[in-house]
Amino acid sequence: MYNNDHIHNPHVPNSNPKPLKRHHTTQYYMQRVQDSLTTRISKIFCSIFLSLLFIVGLIAFIFWLSLRPHRPRFFINEFSIPGLDQESGFLNPQITFKVTARNSNQNVGVYYESMSGSVFYKNKKIGSMPLLFPFYQDHKTTTSVDGTLGGARLNVSSQRWAEFQHDRAHGNIVFRLELTSVIRFRISTWDSKRHTMHADCNVVVGPNGHILPAYRNVRCPVYFS
């Protein structure tokens, strides 16, 4: 005989009741609301902080651009070797030049502690001399730098003068005028550190010993060392 107790009757309800759904307490919902408010407030503060940081950074960048010093601009105006067309010119050679220095900064001045000028021919120095006394150049101003190299300051032998004549016979003579300065930038009462500045002016003179028009008033490259 079979035991009918093990036979499942589908019409008989299950004796195991379903688990009851538990409801959260009031304290749970209050905690959820508090956490949500805290998150929202944190996001608001982060947004405000990032916005302020962006605005401050933008203002600082604009301020830096307005005060960032630009290097002075140099232009070669005149350069001549009188007597270049004379065979005996090497007995008393002389070089004269004129350069203008322009401070194009809007709110930045330039203090020149020293300045010297040197003339090169075929990358060999043929003379140098000190130029100007220490001076301050205000913003948006131009200063004229004149120099004359002659006598002991200009080392031009008869052989060098013969080289000049050789180049002159073939058309033009190429020189390089280098101005070296120790400068400081000045913003209000603040001075920057010292910079050694170089302005290289390439000059070409014609048979008459004067700078060619194509090289007059040309801007000279400027670099720091």
pLDDT > 70? residue 20: no
Contact 197, 224 (CB under 8 A): yes
Q: What is the distance between the alpha carbons of residues 219 and 159, in angstroms, rounded to a whole number?
A: 32
What is the average per-residue pLDDT within 21-25? 59
Secondary structure (3-state) at 203 = strand
Kindly report, residue by residue over 167-212, the tens digit of the pLDDT.
988 889 999 999 999 999 998 778 889 999 999 999 999 998 999 9
Contact 110, 103 (CB under 8 A): yes
Question: Two tokens at 196?
Answer: 């050694």
What is the average per-residue pLDDT within 43-62? 79
pLDDT > 80? residue 90: no
What is the average per-residue pLDDT within 21-39? 66
More confident of the two residues 45 and 143: 143
Query: Does the reported pTM lie above 0.85?
Result: no
**Side-chain-facing half-sphere of 166: CA atoms under 13 Å:** 6
pLDDT > 80? residue 85: no
What pLDDT is attached to residue 145?
95
Mean pLDDT of the chain, nearest integer: 84
What pLDDT is attached to residue 93?
84
What pLDDT is attached to residue 69?
82
Highest mean pLDDT among 34-48, 87-101, 175-189: 175-189
**Does domain 73-224 correspond to CATH entry 2.60.40?**
yes
Instruction: Tell me what percent of the residues of the chain surpass a pLDDT of 70.
Output: 78
What pLDDT is attached to residue 1?
46
Residue 138 banded pLDDT, cuts 50, 70, 90? very high
Q: What is the distance between the alpha carbons of residues 173 and 105, in angstroms, rounded to a whole number?
A: 35
Q: Residue 213 CA to chain centroid, in angstroms?
A: 30
Neighbouring CB atoms inside 10 A of 2's CB total 6
pLDDT > 80? residue 37: no
More confident of the two residues 58 and 78: 78
Annotated domain spans of the chain: 20-68, 73-224
DSSP state of 153: G
